[in-house]
Amino acid sequence: MPDIAASSQSFPPVALVKAGQRFAFDGTHGSSDALLIARYHLAYREKVPLLAVVCESAVDAQRLSQEIGFFAPEARVRLLPDWETLPYDTFSPHQDLVSERLATLHDLGEGRCDILLVPATTALYRMPPASFLAGYTFSFAQGERLNEAKLKAQLTLAGYEHVSQVVRPGEYCVRGSLLDLFPMGSPLPYRIDLFDDQVDSIRAFDPDTQRSLYPVKDVRLLPGREFPFDEAARTAFRSRWRETFEGDPSRASIYKDIGNGVPSAGIEYYLPLFFEDTATLFHYLPEGAQLAFIGDLDAAIRRFTNDTKQRYNFLSHDRDRPILEPQRLFLSDEDFYTFAKPFARLVLPANAGGGWSTSLPNLAIDRHADDPVAALRAYLASTPNRVLFATESAGPP
């Protein structure tokens, strides 16, 4: 890799990995995995439209999302976060997490992602098909005609909640000609001022102070959940429920709630019943995408699979709340690696050491010299690398 070799003699070059091939890179430690991922992207971004990085843990994925931005500020890095619930939990993921997940999946479909970061366990979850996001996403702009009643109906069908004050994603509020709306995947809510049936203005506002911030030209609305919840979807859900589970469905509160239009807590673990076919992470990756495996994925997947089986065996005897078999909700380890095999794979094992790394030259400050930081100044002038200064304190103001 010419870019890596030219920018850091201590960082060995990595050739472009070809489809179906696996290249294991030993020696990363600390933040050097983020450096390698960033420079691999920069060197081959014209040939690799997306690098999907599967991490051993959610902590690693979050860390890399911050560190890669330091080494490659121009890269469009997206994180697909975990639900942060255990399999078969009877409560739903936080709305902020669902919002970030939907935004990431939408950006993948629109080609607005260069590096995708995914915890290994998250990569095992079956997901809504891409056609769901495409079919339930809509937008409007300033100056367009917008029927308020129709918009409210669309928001309800998309899973948005009508509230008295908008403070989190997935909520909307109507006050006269003003419509406050917090789209899923958006960092801020928007205040839409309607004049008759026309969008007069759109402004972002602070959800804490409720004060308007700045004007925007248009608004994109993602669905409020990772599954449809209109009448047709609920009817299909109930039909698949009867096909899947034995016994009287009226005994199950979830079945009754869905019939009444109520999304029960923990409904996410029945997601396959909303769709004829579910998708996997691999279905969202564009042609030419490559994979990077960070850490001990085998151990992470094995722990998750064993824990899920134990939870299923413990909870599957409740006839009032029957649960889906693990294979309906998650990929097995064999499934995961079968899906991954056709892709080029860059593997960075855990605890690989760091035999190729070198130490810095002597950059100590010489207080007696005319230029106390001459050595540091010379080093900064000679290296093309980005430099991070870490200090014990912020120093004097």
Judge whether residue 279 has pLDDT over 80: yes
Quote the tokens at residue 46.
């014209």
Judge whether residue 352 has pLDDT over 60: no
Residue 335: pLDDT band (50, 70, 90) is very high
pLDDT tens for residues 112-163?
999 999 999 999 999 999 999 888 888 889 999 888 888 888 888 788 889 9
Lowest average pLDDT, out of 27-31, 37-41, 196-200, goes to 27-31
Chain centre distance of CA 228: 19
Question: Comparing 191 with 371, which gets the higher pLDDT?
Answer: 191
The label of the residue with tokens 């080029």 reads 344
Following CA atoms 84, 86, 92, 97 in sequence, which dihedral angle do they give, to the nearest 10 degrees?
20
| Residue 261 CB burial class (10 angstroms; 0-12, 13-18, ≥19) | exposed
Q: With the C-alpha atoms ordered 256, 259, 262, 268, is the resulting torsion angle positive or negative? A: positive
| Residue 256 CB burial class (10 angstroms; 0-12, 13-18, ≥19) | middle
Task: Answer yes or no: are the C-beta atoms of 183 and 172 closer than 8 Å.
Answer: no
Closest to 117 in 3D by CA, of 179, 54, 171, 66: 54
Tell me what pLDDT residue 357 has. 57
Judge whether residue 394 has pLDDT over 80: no
Judge whether residue 284 has pLDDT over 90: yes
Tell me what pLDDT residue 40 has. 93
Residue 4: pLDDT band (50, 70, 90) is very low
Task: Answer yes or no: are the C-beta atoms of 41 and 53 closer than 8 Å.
Answer: no
Lowest average pLDDT, out of 20-29, 186-195, 292-301, 313-322, goes to 20-29
Domain architecture of the chain: domains with CATH:
2-131+263-348 (3.40.50.11180), 138-221 (3.30.2060.10)
Phi-psi region of 20 (alpha: psi -120 to 50; beta: other; left: phi over 0): left
Residue 288: pLDDT band (50, 70, 90) is very high
Tell me what pLDDT residue 351 has. 62
State mean pLDDT over 84-103.
Answer: 93
* pTM beyond 0.85: no
Chain centre distance of CA 334: 23
State mean pLDDT over 80-98.
Answer: 93
Tell me what pLDDT residue 349 has. 84
Tell me what pLDDT residue 395 has. 66
